[in-house]
Structure 1
Amino acid sequence: MKPIKNFYLSFTLTARFYILMGVVVFLFILSFIFSSFSDLPYFAFGILISILLLDTFILFRKNNINAERILGPRLSNGDDNPVYIWVQNNYPFAVSVNVLDELPIQFQIRDFSYKLNLKPLEKQNLDYYIKPVKRGIYAFGDLRIFVSSAIKLVERRYSFNAEKEVAVYPSYLQMRRYELMAISNKLTEIGVKKIRKIGNSSEFEQIKNYVVGDDYRHINWKATARKGDLMLNNYIDEKSQHIYCIIDKSRNMQSPFEGLSLLDYAINATLALSNIALLKEDKAGIISMAEKEGALVLSDRKPAHITKILEVLYKEKTRYLELNSEQLYITIRKKIKQRSLLVFFTNFESLSAMRRQLPYLKKIARFHLLLVVFFENTEITNSLNLETKNTQDVYFKTIAEQFVNEKRQIVKELNQHGITSILTTPQNLTVNSINAYLRLKSSQKL
C-alpha cells in the first residue's frame, strides 16, 4: 500500500494534459453531430492515454533526481544571507524542474520557486538571499522538486527532507565587515572618519605608509626621502580602556524602521562597536535595561569575549514598559567600578521624555564619560520636503517641524549639561557610533 500511496502523492497531471483532454472531449461532441467523426475521438483518446502512460513510465521508473539545500549554521539579522540549492538530473534525457523551497513562517512566503532546465546527467546550483528582520529560531521545511519530461503530460514530485532550524543572530556579517575594514585600515571607505589625535601623549609605535585620512603633521620626512613614498610616524592609542554599550530595551525601542526595530539596530551597532573596541585593545561590556535590570556582561578583552557578547545579545527582547532610569544608575554604580565610556542607545520621542531621565543621566556623567545615542524619525524628517497641497498638508508639515526641532533641542540641552549626544538615523547608527567612539578615544577624555 505504501508504494501506491507514494505514487499517488507524487503524481500530478499538467495543464497540457487537461488541454489535450479538452480537445478529445470536443471531438466526442462533434462525433454526435457528424457521423464522419465517430472513430476519430476514440483514436485520439487512445493516443493520449498511451503517451500519458509512456510519460509516467519514464518519470517514475527510478528515483533520478537528487537535491540538497546548503545553509549556514546561523543567519545574520538585517543582512542578506545566502542560501544555496543544488539539483542533479540522473535521467538519461533532459527534464524541466521546478524547485520549491519551504521558507520559515516569519517570511510569510508560500510560492517561492525556481524553474530550471537540466540536460541529461547535469547538475546545477542556484542561490538566493533571505533577509530576516527579527532574532530567533527560523524553521526551514522540506525541499520540493517537480520534474517533467519533454512530453509534459505528467509531473513527478520529489520531496527531500531538508527540515532545519537556524538561529538568527545579531548582525555578525556587519560586525565582520567593519572588522575587516579596521584590520586593513579602510574604515574610511564605509563612512568611519579618520580621527586626528590631540597632542602627542601617545607612545610611538612604528613608521608606516601614509594612507588617505592620516594626520599629515606626523609625516616622517627623513623616512619619506629614503623610501620615495610618504611615510608616517604611527602612535599607539591608550589601551585597556573600558567601553560599555547600554541598550534601552523598553517600549520606546520597539518602533520599526525598514523591518527592523530600533532595538535590533541598537543591538547590531553594539556588536560592531564592541568588536572594534576589542580590536583597539580596549575592554568591551554591555548592559541592557528596561523596567528592571537585564543582561550584564562585564568589560573584558579575552579572545572569546565577542562570542559571549553575541550570545547575550541574541537573547535580548523588547520589554513593553518604561525605562527605569533609577535602576540603571544603581546598576552602573554597583557593577562598573572603573571610569568608562558608556554608549547609551535609547530613543527620546519628546523633550519631556528626555527631561524625566536627565537627573539620572547627569549623575551617571559625574562618574563616567557618557555618550547618549538616540534616533531621528526619518519619516517625519522626509515629510518636511513634501509639497503642501491643502490645509491638512500644512497642518501635518507644521507638526513635523515641531517634532524635528524638539529632537534638535534635546541634543542642545544634553550638551548644556556636559553630556555628549548623537542624533542619528537608524541606518547610520553603527557608523556614527564608531566615529563617536574613535573621536572620544582620540580626545583622551576617558
Structure 2
Amino acid sequence: MKSLFLSTRFFLLLTALIVGLVVAFFVPALLAPLQVLLGLLVLLTLLDVALLYAAGGGVFGRRVLGDKLANGSDNDVALYLENLYRFPIGTQTIDEIPHQFQRRDVLFRAAIKPGETSIIRYQLRPTKRGEYEFGALNVYVASPLGLVRRRFRFDEKRVVPVYPSFLQMRQYELLAIHNRLTEVGVKRIRRVGQSLEFEQIRPYVAGDDPRTINWKATARRASTPQAADALVVNHYQDERAQQVYCLIDKGRVMRMPFEGLSLLDYAINATLVVSNIALIKHDKAGLITFSHQPGALLPADRRSGHLRKLLEILYRQKTKYLETDYERLYITVKTQVRQRSLLILFTNFETLSGLHRQLPYLRRMAKDHLLLVVFFENTELRAFLDAPATSTEDVYNQTVAEKFAQEKRQIVRELNRYGIHALLTAPQNLTVNTINKYLEFKARGLI
C-alpha cells in the first residue's frame, strides 16, 4: 500500500526486539518471551492497519487561502482537518508550499477527537510577484496504537498568483474611510488657506470661520420666522478630479533588495495604496512605467474598475538591466499628460552626478506639473553608521559611508533648489511618507 507507512514507534519496538533476540543468543531463556512479543507486535500492527482502513473511516482535509497572495505581506493560510473515524487520531500534516518560500517548518501535529475538526493556521510572506505552485496537502494519520500511519493527500497542484500588496491597500483604505490614518503614521495636516471648490450653504454653528459667512444669503433669510438663527456659511470641500500619476522607474537602480523585496516592489506596493487613497479623495489616478524604453501607460481616471486595471498592470512589471532613459519619460509625459497633475516619481539616485544627468528632464516636467521625486535611503548603511567604531578600519569605513549618506541629503537640496519636491525615505516607510506628501499637497492647494 503506497499510502501506508510504519511509524517511529513501530521501529523503536522492533529495534528493541531485535536487540533482545541477539541477547537471547547468549541467554536462551529469553528467546520464548521475545518470540511471543514479536508475534504480539505483528498482530497489533495488523490490527492497526485494519483500524485505519476500516469502512467509513478516514480524514477529510483542505487548504484554504485566497485566489491570490499579496506581495510583501503576511498572507493567512488555514488547513482544515476533519476526523471521520470513530476513535481519536493523531495527525502529522505536511503542506507542500511553493519552493520560493524556502521554508522547512510546515509540519504540523494535531490530536483530533472523533467527528471533530481541527484548524491549523500559518502565514506566508512572498517577496516576488508571479505564479506560485502549491503541491499536495499530506495528512499522516495514526490510531491510538500508533504503529502505522496512513497518508491522505488533498488539494494537489494549485497555482496561485502573487500580486502587489492588496492587503496593505485594504488596510489603508479602511483607515482612510474611518479617518484613522494617523494610526499608521499618516500626519494630520492643517489646511493652509481655503479650497476654491464650493459645496453647499449651511447654517452657522459654533466654531465656523466667520469669514465664511454668506451675508447675502443671511440677509435673504432675515425676514423669515427663523431669523434668530439666520446666519449661514459657505461650506467648501477639497478640490476633486485632480490627476495623480505615479511614475515608476524599472531600471537597474530599482533592483536593490531590502528585507527580501526589491525597490521596484516597494514602489509598486506604494503606488497601489496611494492611487487608492487618491480615488477615495475623488481624484483621478494614473500610471506610467519606464526604463530604457517606454513601459506601461494608464491614463488618469476614477471610473469603476480602474483600480483593477492598475493592479493587473502593476502585477506584470519587471526591472530591467539597462540605465533608465529620462528623455523618453519626459516625451511620454509631455504628449500624454496634458492637464496639470501631481507626478510622483519613484526612482533611486545614489550619486549627485547621477542626478545631474537627469536633472534637465526633471526640471522640464516640473514646469508643467507638480513633481515629487521619491528615492530611497540605504537603511543598511544607516545601521552601519549607528554602530560604534571599535577599530581604525571601522572609522575609515564609517567615514566613507557617511560620505554616501551626505550625498543623498545633497540630492534633496539640489532638487529643492530647482523647485522640485523631493522625498528621501527608508523603503519600509515609503507608503506612509508618500501618502503624507500627497495629503500635504492637497492641504496646501498645490496641485
Q: TM-score, normalised by structure 2?
A: 0.91
- Residue matched to 1:72: 66
Calculate percent identity across the aligned residue pairs.
48
- Residue matched to 1:225: none
Per-residue CA deviations over 1:223-266 (Å, capped at 9, x if unaligned) read: xxxxxxxxx99630111111100000101001111111100000
SS in 1 for 2:413: helix
User: Any conservation in 2 of the 1:245–1:342 contact (CA below 8 Å)?
Assistant: yes
The 5 A counterparts of 1:404-419 are 404-419=405-420
Does residue 353 (structure 1) correspond to residue 354 (structure 2)? The answer is: yes
- Residue matched to 2:185: 191
Does residue 60 (structure 1) correspond to residue 53 (structure 2)? The answer is: yes
Distance 1:371 1:61, change over 3 A: same
- Residue matched to 1:420: 421
For residues 379 and 219 of structure 1, the distance between their equivalents in structure 2, rounded to whole angstroms, comes to: 52
* Structure 2: unaligned runs, 5 residues or longer: 214-232
- Residue matched to 1:436: 437
SS in 2 for 1:145: strand
Q: How far does residue 387 in structure 1 lie from its aligned partner after superposition? A: 1.0
The 5 A counterparts of 1:6-155 are 7=1, 9-62=2-55, 63-155=57-149
Amino acid at match of 1:335: Q
User: Any conservation in 1 of the 2:195–2:239 contact (CA below 8 Å)?
Assistant: no
SS in 2 for 1:384: helix
User: Any conservation in 2 of the 1:103–1:110 contact (CA below 8 Å)?
Assistant: no
Amino acid at match of 1:147: V
- Residue matched to 1:226: none
- Residue matched to 1:3: none
Q: How far does residue 23 in structure 1 lie from its aligned partner after superposition? A: 1.9
Amino acid at match of 2:289: S
Q: How far does residue 38 in structure 1 lie from its aligned partner after superposition? A: 3.2
- Residue matched to 1:263: 264
- Residue matched to 2:224: none
For residues 210 and 102 of structure 2, the distance between their equivalents in structure 1, rounded to whole angstroms, comes to: 57
The 5 A counterparts of 1:204-215 are 205=199
Pick which of 353-362 and 61-70 moved more. 61-70
For residues 61 and 201 of structure 1, the distance between their equivalents in structure 2, rounded to whole angstroms, comes to: 76
Distance 1:433 1:218, change over 3 A: farther
The 5 A counterparts of 1:284-433 are 284-433=285-434
For residues 119 and 256 of structure 1, the distance between their equivalents in structure 2, rounded to whole angstroms, comes to: 47
The 5 A counterparts of 1:276-291 are 276-291=277-292
Amino acid at match of 1:98: Q
May I ask how many residue pairs the two structures share in their alignment? 424
SS in 2 for 1:98: strand
Distance 1:43 1:299, change over 3 A: same
Amino acid at match of 1:158: F
Distance 1:298 1:144, change over 3 A: same
* Structure 1: unaligned runs, 5 residues or longer: 1-6, 211-215, 223-231
Runs of 4+ displaced beyond 6 Å: none
Amino acid at match of 1:162: E
- Residue matched to 1:241: 242
SS in 2 for 1:39: helix
Structural RMSD (CA)? 2.1
Distance 1:71 1:234, change over 3 A: farther
Amino acid at match of 2:48: D
User: Any conservation in 2 of the 1:218–1:233 contact (CA below 8 Å)?
Assistant: no
Distance 1:101 1:234, change over 3 A: farther
SS in 2 for 1:38: helix
For residues 97 and 151 of structure 2, the distance between their equivalents in structure 1, rounded to whole angstroms, comes to: 18
Amino acid at match of 1:68: R
User: Any conservation in 2 of the 1:77–1:132 contact (CA below 8 Å)?
Assistant: yes
